[in-house]
Structure 1
Amino acid sequence: MTKPHLLIVDGMALLFRSFFASAAMNQFIRLEDGTPSNGVQGFARHVLTAQNLMKPTHLAVCWDMGAHTFRNDLFEGYKANRPAPPEEMLPQFDMAKEVSQMIGWQNFGIPGLEADDLIGSMIEKWKDEAQITVISGDKDLLQLLNPSTTIAFTKKGYSEYDVYTESRFVDEYGITPKQFAEVKAFMGDTSDGYPGVKGIGPKTALQLIQNHGSIDGVMEALPTLKPGQRIKISENEAMLRLSHQLATIHCSAEIEVGLESLRLSSYTTDLFDIVEQRGYRLISKHARSIY
Structure 2
Amino acid sequence: MMEKKILLVDGMALLFRAFYSTAMSGYFMVNSKGVPTNAVHGFVRHMMTAANTFQPSHVICCWDMGAHTFRNDLYPDYKANRGAPPEELVPQFDLVKEVTESMEIPNIGEVGYEADDCIGTLAKAYQSEAEVHILTGDQDILQLLDENIKVILLKKGYGNYDIYHAERFTEEKGITPYQMIELKAMMGDTSDNYPGVRGVGEKTALKLLQKHGTLEDILANLDQLTKAQRAKFENDLEMVHLSRKLAEINCETGVTCDLNEAEFRINRERAMEKFQELEFKRLDSLF
TM (normalized to structure 1)? 0.96
CA contact (8 A) 2:103 2:266 kept: no
Percent identity, aligned pairs only?
Answer: 45
Deviation at 1:260, TM superposition (A): 2.6
The gaps in structure 2 that reach 5 residues or longer are none
Structure-2 residue corresponding to 1:257 = 257
Structure-2 residue corresponding to 1:235 = 235
CA contact (8 A) 1:41 1:280 kept: no
Structure-1 residue corresponding to 2:276 = 277
- Cα distance in 1 for partners of 2:238, 2:2 equals 47
Structure-2 residue corresponding to 1:290 = 286
Structure-2 residue corresponding to 1:128 = 128
- Cα distance in 1 for partners of 2:274, 2:90 equals 21
CA contact (8 A) 2:122 2:255 kept: yes
SS of the residue corresponding to residue 31 of structure 2 reads coil
Deviation at 1:271, TM superposition (A): 2.3
> Quick one: structure 1 residues 273 and 236, their matched pair in 2 at CA, closer, same or farther if it must change by over 3 Å?
closer
Deviation at 1:47, TM superposition (A): 0.6
Structure 1 range deviating more: 188-197 or 99-108: 99-108
Q: Which amino acid aligns with 2:286?
A: I
How many residues align structurally? 287
- Cα distance in 1 for partners of 2:213, 2:109 equals 33
- Please list the CA deviations of residues 199-233 of structure 1 after superposition, one character each: whole Å capped at 9, or x if unmatched: 00111111111111111110111101100000100
Alignment pair present for 1:39 and 2:39: yes
Q: How does 1:199-214 map to 2 (within 5 A)?
A: 199-214=199-214
- Please list the CA deviations of residues 67-122 of structure 1 after superposition, one character each: whole Å capped at 9, or x if unmatched: 00000000011000012111111101001111111111110010100000000000
- Cα distance in 1 for partners of 2:142, 2:175 equals 11
- Cα distance in 2 for partners of 1:210, 1:6 equals 33
Structure-2 residue corresponding to 1:165 = 165
Deviation at 1:187, TM superposition (A): 0.1
- Cα distance in 2 for partners of 1:210, 1:198 equals 20
Q: Which amino acid aligns with 2:215?
A: I
CA contact (8 A) 1:126 1:259 kept: no
Structure-1 residue corresponding to 2:177 = 177
- Cα distance in 2 for partners of 1:95, 1:290 equals 20
- Please list the CA deviations of residues 140-159 of structure 1 after superposition, one character each: whole Å capped at 9, or x if unmatched: 10110012011011102110
- Cα distance in 2 for partners of 1:2, 1:195 equals 41
- Please list the CA deviations of residues 236-275 of structure 1 after superposition, one character each: whole Å capped at 9, or x if unmatched: 110000000000000011133322321111443x224312
Q: Which amino acid aligns with 2:189?
A: D
Structure-1 residue corresponding to 2:62 = 62
- Cα distance in 1 for partners of 2:279, 2:126 equals 33
- Cα distance in 2 for partners of 1:9, 1:17 equals 13
